[in-house]
Amino acid sequence: MRSRILTLMALTAVVFSLSVSVLQAQDLNLANQYYNNGEFEKAAALYGQLLERDERNDAFFNRYVECLLNLERYDECEKTIKKQLRKAPENVSLYVTYGNLFERMDKTDEANAQYQRAIEKMAPDYASVNRLAALFMSSAKFDWATQTYERGSQLLKDPNRFAFNLGELYRRKGDPTKMIEYYLNALNADPGRLPTIQTLLARYLAPSDFSELQTQLYTRIQESENPDYVELLAWSFVQRKDFKSALRQYKALDKRLDENGQRIFNLAGDAADAKDYETAIAAYDYLVAEKGQLNPFFFDAKREAMECRRKKITEGFDYTEEDLKTLETEYENFLNQFGRGKQTATIVMQLADLEAYYIHNLPKAIALLEGLKMTPGLDRNTLARTKINLADFYLMHGDRWESTLLYSQVDKEFKEEPLGQEARFKNARLSYFTGDFQWSQAQFDVLKASTSKLIANDALDLSVFIMDNLNLDTTAEAISLYSGAEMLVFQNRFEEAFLKLDTLRSNFPEHSLQDDILYLEAQIYEKKRDYPKAAALYQEVADKFKDDIRADNSLYNLAQLYEFKMNDPEKAKTLYEKIFMDYSGSVFAVDARKRFRILRGDKVQ
């Protein structure tokens, strides 16, 4: 009997407890609804009742205080806070709440006193420091959060324990000098933070702030042998495209740590991409000379160094015969040392390009690729690229049938793959060069659907060009002269191309090709790196032939010149805007809008 009574009493207690919980939940939901609706009087009444039932519930207390503050019932609010403080004087968040009340009452000194008291009473452990700092940051009190972390460092006897947090705070406060100082302190304490700190510095440092970063790093490097400082210094030079200074730092780091040259090899690639070929060559040469043939980067460094020398000489077509012969000798010495095989296939192709396009020794270029084509074990992509380049050379040499045979072989084997589409396009262009305009136009119409954007655009361009300028009722002499001039440009025979264009202009002064003549001349001058002449001709096309097919091409090329070659981003931005506003159907419209937004400072994915 007694056990039954006890069981009944226990069940009654559980039911009562559940009833209270359900009731409390209902009151809380209603209070939250009032609070979210801005009905603070009703919300305060319910939160007050909830707080009386559970006096240590921080959520009830905070919401009740917020309601009283919104109702400006400051005396009642102060009594509530004091009552809570008497019960939990170790709860430092209450002092922050008290300070917030004084701020609302415009009592700045009293508020500051409460914030200071919160920091003084803070427990000497990592979690407590972070909680209080987060509380200050939630109301944008960054100075008090800073003091919290500084006091926490003292309590924990670790000056760098909160260095990263302080760096973040100074970033939010807009103080780059202190931000850098504390980020570097954090790096010193934890080398694993280097990638994170690089990301933050890249995102938030203004270009003018990098000199401050470098000054602080130089000072620290003199005082410490921390290699992360050297790594970060070199990285900062890379951000400013000062690859020469970055190489100097990476060399020092490479020697100090006795590394395999990975950093220097990567830097060389970045410099080459930025067209700083001098630094790229110096970096590659360092790897070859200092690391020796057993180094994993030796072969690639030798190959890339020659590629950079080739680009340095040939880009812009500003070179001497002696320059070309020197580069040719370097390639041949390399191949004599390492042989002609699948491992050196890229080098053979580069030498063949040099012979064909710059030294104009087509028989040698053809012989090089004919030999490469027969190399055992050559992978299918390299073999296809060899055939495409060889076909180009045969075309330049005047052997149309050998050229079309090679293009067709790649087209058949690769079908809808990019290499196949490239071969098909070049085969169609071959027919265009040699005057078979109707057949080539049919091929270009098919290639307009190519998965390669570049090929699709070029195919569309040539298709429209042929349709626009070929008058089937008269002779095709004019367009034949023009396609012949394009063939000469393809062969880098620029002066002969100019002469042919002059003949075209003289013999057909009223022909619709006048804009195309100017456009091709502009492209020649751009290849010769005579940018002012190229820009003037592109502008002439855009001004005189606004409704013709070369207008948007000229505007886009002109914008690219101003952005990347003539250092006038504002002019480029204006031209990009004109393209997507006035030529919205152009194939360049999407990219023009993207370039415009980038130059305007938008964040573009």
Distance between CA atoms of 558 and 148, rounded to whole angstroms?
56
Cβ(43)–Cβ(51) below 8 Å = no
Distance between CA atoms of 326 and 310, rounded to whole angstroms?
10
477 pLDDT exceeds 70? yes
The mean per-residue pLDDT over the stretch 325-350 comes to 92
What's the confidence (pLDDT) of residue 107? 92
What's the confidence (pLDDT) of residue 494? 92
As a whole-number percent, the residues of the chain with pLDDT over 90 amount to 60
* Long-range contacts from 571-574, C-beta under 8 angstroms, 24+ separation: 572/599, 573/599, 573/600
pTM: 0.67
Taking residue 228's Cβ as centre, other Cβ atoms within 10 Å add up to 20
Band (45; pLDDT cuts 50, 70, 90): confident
For residue 199, the SS3 value is helix
495 pLDDT exceeds 60? yes
As a whole-number percent, the residues of the chain with pLDDT over 70 amount to 94
- What one-letter code names the amino acid at 255? K
Distance between CA atoms of 192 and 228, rounded to whole angstroms?
10
Architecture category of domain 513-605 in CATH:
Alpha Horseshoe (1.25)
What's the confidence (pLDDT) of residue 472? 47
Cβ(424)–Cβ(456) below 8 Å = no
> pLDDT per residue over 308-335, tens digit each?
998 888 776 667 889 899 999 999 999 9
Q: Scanning the structure block, which residue is given the tokens 């380049």?
A: 389
Q: What is the mean pLDDT of the chain?
A: 89
Backbone dihedral region for residue 42 (phi beyond 0: left; psi -120 to 50: alpha; all else: beta):
alpha
Question: Going by C-beta distance under 8 Å and a sequence separation of 6 or more, which residues neighbour residue 226?
Answer: 187, 188, 191, 220
Band (19; pLDDT cuts 50, 70, 90): very low
> pLDDT per residue over 372-405, tens digit each?
999 999 999 999 999 999 999 999 888 989 999 9
Question: Going by C-beta distance under 8 Å and a sequence separation of 6 or more, which residues neighbour residue 100?
Answer: 69, 111, 139
Band (1; pLDDT cuts 50, 70, 90): low
Question: Going by C-beta distance under 8 Å and a sequence separation of 6 or more, which residues neighbour residue 461?
Answer: 549, 553, 587
17 pLDDT exceeds 50? no
H-only helix segments in 374-452: 380-397, 400-414, 418-433, 437-447
The mean per-residue pLDDT over the stretch 435-447 comes to 90
Distance between CA atoms of 537 and 533, rounded to whole angstroms?
6
Q: Of the candidates 131, 202, 216, which has an alpha carbon nearest to the alpha carbon of residue 171?
A: 202
Distance between CA atoms of 584 and 592, rounded to whole angstroms?
10
What's the confidence (pLDDT) of residue 504? 95
Distance between CA atoms of 30 and 42, rounded to whole angstroms?
9
Q: Give the residue extent of every domain in the chain.
A: 513-605
What's the confidence (pLDDT) of residue 271? 95
Distance between CA atoms of 129 and 162, rounded to whole angstroms?
9
Band (11; pLDDT cuts 50, 70, 90): very low
What's the confidence (pLDDT) of residue 220? 94
Half-sphere exposure of 366 (CA within 13 A, CB side): 16
Enclosing H/E stretch for 515: helix 514-527
What's the confidence (pLDDT) of residue 8? 44
Cβ(562)–Cβ(526) below 8 Å = no
What's the confidence (pLDDT) of residue 293? 87
7 pLDDT exceeds 70? no
CA–CA distance from 30 to each of 51, 71, 566, 582 (Å)? 15, 18, 66, 58
DSSP code of residue 233: H
Q: Of the candidates 477, 524, 470, which has an alpha carbon nearest to the alpha carbon of residue 497?
A: 524
Cβ(24)–Cβ(47) below 8 Å = no
What's the confidence (pLDDT) of residue 18? 39
What's the confidence (pLDDT) of residue 14? 39
Distance between CA atoms of 438 and 603, rounded to whole angstroms?
45
> pLDDT per residue over 269-312, tens digit each?
999 999 899 999 999 999 999 998 889 999 899 989 999 998 88
